[in-house]
Chains A and B, each alone.
Chain A
Amino acid sequence: DTGVSQDPRHKITKRGQNVTFRCDPISEHNRLYWYRQTLGQGPEFLTYFQNEAQLEKSRLLSDRFSAERPKGSFSTLEIQRTEQGDSAMYLCASSRPRSGNTIYFGEGSWLTVV
């Protein structure tokens, strides 16, 4: 396993701009998750994909947020019209098909909105 890969690792953007993060899960992991983590807090669930299907979205994911996983491999998370409150680390994770398996996280993408 090469690990979960996220890009970019750091992004500074002006308020109102759009940003997109990419996640490449571990190969053969059909489950993919996005979490958000603010300073001093644990990660919070945003959304879940099983293959290309987005099966659950948290209420934290406002209509300015959209996530896709077009071919069931990599995923993108786009934030439109960024606000200062969006500043956080966005973590991607993946796991094997069976429930109860270890979930593996990427290094995260830091977003700072100025």
Chain B
Amino acid sequence: KQEVTQIPAALSVPEGENLVLNCSFTDSAIYNLQWFRQDPGKGLTSLLLIQSSQREQTSGRLNASLDKSSGRSTLYIAASQPGDSATYLCAVSRFSGGYNKLIFGAGTRLAVHP
């Protein structure tokens, strides 16, 4: 059974710091991995999608890497800003029955203070 773990569970940093969020998964047979952002009481916003054949994806100040063999992904946020404060969720996709089922970690709650 696939399990996804995110470390740390919570993180508080001053503005401007570069930071790394970690995601690990137990079954390396994934189809892809997706990072999401969730603001309090809101839905999920997709940040980056990494296919299983890829090593990393970048979008602006965000960079996500994937090491499928070791079951790990990291989300790197450069020059953090207070607006980055949110919960970041990692989800791995398992191809089953012709579609991708997402299995989520519990998230990392990030607070960036001025």
Residues of A within 8 A of B (CB): 4, 6, 31, 33, 35, 40-45, 48, 50, 55-56, 91, 93, 95, 99-100, 102-108, 110
B99 touches A31 (CB 8 A): yes
* Bound CA–CA A33/B51 (angstroms): 20
Interface string of B43-82 (1 = CB under 8 A from A): 1111001010000000000000000000000000000000
A42 touches B89 (CB 8 A): yes
The dominant DSSP class at the B interface is strand
- With both beta carbons as reference points, the residue of chain A lying nearest to B47 in the complex is identified as A102
B99 touches A107 (CB 8 A): no
* Bound CA–CA A2/B34 (angstroms): 21
For B36, B51, B91, B104, the residue with the greatest tally of chain A CB atoms inside 10 Å of its CB is B104
Q: A100-B32, A104-B46, A107-B43 are in contact. Are A45 and B99 (CB under 8 A)?
A: no
Q: What 8 pairs between A and B have smallest CB-CB spacing? A: A42-B104, A105-B44, A107-B43, A105-B43, A108-B43, A102-B49, A102-B46, A42-B106
- With both beta carbons as reference points, the residue of chain B lying nearest to A58 in the complex is identified as B101
Determine the chain B residues whose CB is within 8 A of the CB of A4 once the complex forms: 43
Determine the chain A residues whose CB is within 8 A of the CB of B114 once the complex forms: none
A55 touches B99 (CB 8 A): yes
- With both beta carbons as reference points, the residue of chain B lying nearest to A49 in the complex is identified as B99
Determine the chain A residues whose CB is within 8 A of the CB of B42 once the complex forms: 107-108
A42 touches B107 (CB 8 A): yes
Q: Which of B83-100 contact A (CB under 8 A)?
A: 89, 91, 93, 95-100
What would 6 more interface pairs be, CB under 8 Å, given A6-B43, A42-B105, A99-B99?
A4-B43, A56-B101, A99-B95, A100-B93, A103-B34, A106-B43
For A33, A40, A50, A100, the residue with the greatest tally of chain B CB atoms inside 10 Å of its CB is A100
Determine the chain A residues whose CB is within 8 A of the CB of B41 once the complex forms: 110
Q: Closest CB of chain B to A40's CB: distance in Å?
A: 7
* Bound CA–CA A105/B47 (angstroms): 12
B43 touches A42 (CB 8 A): no
* Bound CA–CA A48/B95 (angstroms): 13
A102 touches B101 (CB 8 A): no
Is B7 an interface residue, CB under 8 A from the partner?
Answer: no
